[in-house]
Structure 1
Amino acid sequence: MSASRLAVWGDPIAHSKSPQLHAAAYQVLGLGWQYTRRRVDAEGFAEALDGLDDSWCGLSLTMPLKEQAFRASTTLDRHARLTGAVNTLLLSDGRRGFNTDVGGIVDALAAEGIDAAARVRILGAGATAASALVASVELGAESIEVRARRPERAAGLVALGEQLDVDVTATSFDAALEPVDLTIATLPSGTVLDHGLAARMSGSGGVLFDVAYSPWPSTLATAWVDGRALSGEGMLLRQAVRQIRIFAHGDQSVPLPSEAAVVAAMKAVL
């Protein structure tokens, strides 16, 4: 049986643009793959995964399933091991877990002319924050400041910084502000920060890269009056490109055939 079925799982999932992105890419690549969406919560993940047959090639995982997918993987790529999060499962050869969010952030920023940042501020302390931290290190960050409503939740990020030999500090949202080159907001879509605080952050925050993309501009981007604000659509697109590389040949670092045309087709449906 040919493995040609794929899907994105998460909860909620109705808003996901992944089916349109993947379908556009598969058409350019001439692949007869079927990519759907399915609402799966954390409690139902293991049973749903065990219920898949040999027709399944892989899965894209969104919240709240990235940690469950990490635990279910038989092998992990470096970014998945570092972050403890898997957003891509390749099922045609066991359960190989990958994290394409890290590369998606780096690629999205590169597409906007940003290929380095010495000082970075990360807003939020969840799974996406770990990917943002690793991406920041790959951009050459020398210091990373994590801001969270509960700074104690960032203990794992501080430890990850020690592992990667970069200075990571954790603080509250309203702590004193020092200038940074880049702010990566990993807060859930719809999160509202105090407008005055957000405006003050914009004065010292450099470029804002907000992983939220719907609705856009986000509340934070609207308050970012003193700097450039970038939507998370770029990350959505670029991490999906890396997922398709994995589904096609098992390596997210190897470009697809006619990748420029693939990216153009995907951008057209965003």
Structure 2
Amino acid sequence: MASNEGPRRAAVLGSPIAHSLSPVLHRAAYAELGLANWSYDRFDVDEAGLPEFFGGLDGTWAGLSLTMPLKRAVVPLLDGISDTAASVEAVNTVVFTEEGRRVGDNTDIPGMVAALRERGVEKVESAAVLGAGATASSALAALSQICAGPVTTYVRSRARADEMRGWGERLGVDVRIADWAEAAEAFAAPLVVATTPAGTTDTLAAAVPEAPGTLFDVLYEPWPTVLAAAWADRGGAVVGGLDLLVHQAVLQVEQMTGRSPVPPAAMRTAGEAALAAR
């Protein structure tokens, strides 16, 4: 937890990074909290450049947000990581403590849970996950907290299927594997989490049934996705990538500044305005 006395710095690191909304969200939170001495920037840093960047940080730094490809690369540079981060071997938040320690956490997982809770999704009997990349493992970790039954994951390759089974065993989730060709069957689940890149699920939109359950599409640009638009048209609840981004950023701001609660509304408004201006 950082002291609020004197200028304090934070930033998001990744490569590429120009698209990141994190500066917009964090700065909106600082303004809302009256933290005039705080600044938040973005830096294009890849895995090779990460140790040098860390070596150049001074005592004004309070924390870092990390995006791809740094979420696993940062772990050896830290003094410790939370159980949440360890559960998926991925860190998206680093806090520099007053004692000089570098502590890693993962706010994506509780951010997913909070985004779903905000839309009234507290518990489900089963769920489906589209995709099997890094975000899918975080989705499984979130579902381990809210899904009472099996999670069916729709994947393209045997290697990805084995990875998802492994994550399921590690996280205590009953993971069942299905082929991507059958992905439209996912829509019968009360909760569907789409973790795939932009455009991947567009062809599935026509298969959305009448009165579907809840869709959590982790993308925020372009928004709405073709699938999210079709889902909403048929009366289903939709949680989007901006919802996730805001809730995980709220937790980051709380950890870095020591201030709580951090209001999400101003952050969401700032994020929506920034996306509309693109």
- Structure 1-normalised TM-score? 0.87
Of 245, 250, 256 in structure 2, the residue corresponding to residue 247 of structure 1 is: 256
User: Quick one: which amino acid aligns to residue 228 of structure 1?
Assistant: A
Superposed CA deviations along residues 162-196 of structure 1, whole A, max 9, x for unmatched, are 233321123321137263111111113x233361x
Q: Per the alignment, do residues 120 and 72 of structure 1 end up closer, same or farther by CA in structure 2, a change over 3 Å counting?
A: farther
Q: Per the alignment, do residues 154 and 56 of structure 1 end up closer, same or farther by CA in structure 2, a change over 3 Å counting?
A: farther
Between the two proteins, the alignment pairs up a number of residues equal to 260
The alpha carbon displacement at 1:76 in A equals: 1.1
Between the aligned partners of 1:74 and 1:201, the Cα distance in structure 2 is: 46
Q: Per the alignment, do residues 4 and 202 of structure 1 end up closer, same or farther by CA in structure 2, a change over 3 Å counting?
A: farther
User: Quick one: which amino acid aligns to residue 170 of structure 1?
Assistant: I
The alpha carbon displacement at 1:153 in A equals: 1.8
Aligned 1:73-222 pairs, distance under 5 A: 73-92=78-97, 93-175=100-182, 177=185, 179-188=188-197, 190-193=198-201, 195=203, 197-200=204-207, 206-222=213-229
Superposed CA deviations along residues 225-249 of structure 1, whole A, max 9, x for unmatched, are 5433321111000000000111123
Q: Per the alignment, do residues 220 and 83 of structure 1 end up closer, same or farther by CA in structure 2, a change over 3 Å counting?
A: same
The alpha carbon displacement at 1:202 in A equals: 5.4
Q: Per the alignment, do residues 263 and 222 of structure 1 end up closer, same or farther by CA in structure 2, a change over 3 Å counting?
A: closer
Between the aligned partners of 2:79 and 2:7, the Cα distance in structure 1 is: 19
User: Quick one: which amino acid aligns to residue 48 of structure 1?
Assistant: F
In structure 1, the residue matched to 2:276 is none
Q: Which moved more, 1:224-233 or 1:61-70?
A: 224-233
In structure 2, the residue matched to 1:252 is none
User: Quick one: which amino acid aligns to residue 16 of structure 2?
Assistant: P
User: Quick one: which amino acid aligns to residue 124 of structure 2?
Assistant: A
SS of 1:157's equivalent in the other structure is: helix
Stretches of structure 2 lacking an aligned partner (at least 5 in a row): 272-278
Q: Which moved more, 1:80-89 or 1:171-180?
A: 171-180
Asked if structure 2 preserves the Cα contact closer than 8 Å seen for 1:76 and 1:98, the reply is yes
Asked if structure 2 preserves the Cα contact closer than 8 Å seen for 1:10 and 1:38, the reply is yes
Asked if structure 2 preserves the Cα contact closer than 8 Å seen for 1:3 and 1:54, the reply is no
Between the aligned partners of 2:226 and 2:49, the Cα distance in structure 1 is: 32
Q: Does 1:49 align with 2:30?
A: no
Asked if structure 2 preserves the Cα contact closer than 8 Å seen for 1:107 and 1:238, the reply is yes
Stretches of structure 1 lacking an aligned partner (at least 5 in a row): 250-254
Superposed CA deviations along residues 13-48 of structure 1, whole A, max 9, x for unmatched, are 111111111111112222221100111123322222
Between the aligned partners of 2:210 and 2:89, the Cα distance in structure 1 is: 33
Q: Which moved more, 1:130-139 or 1:216-225?
A: 216-225
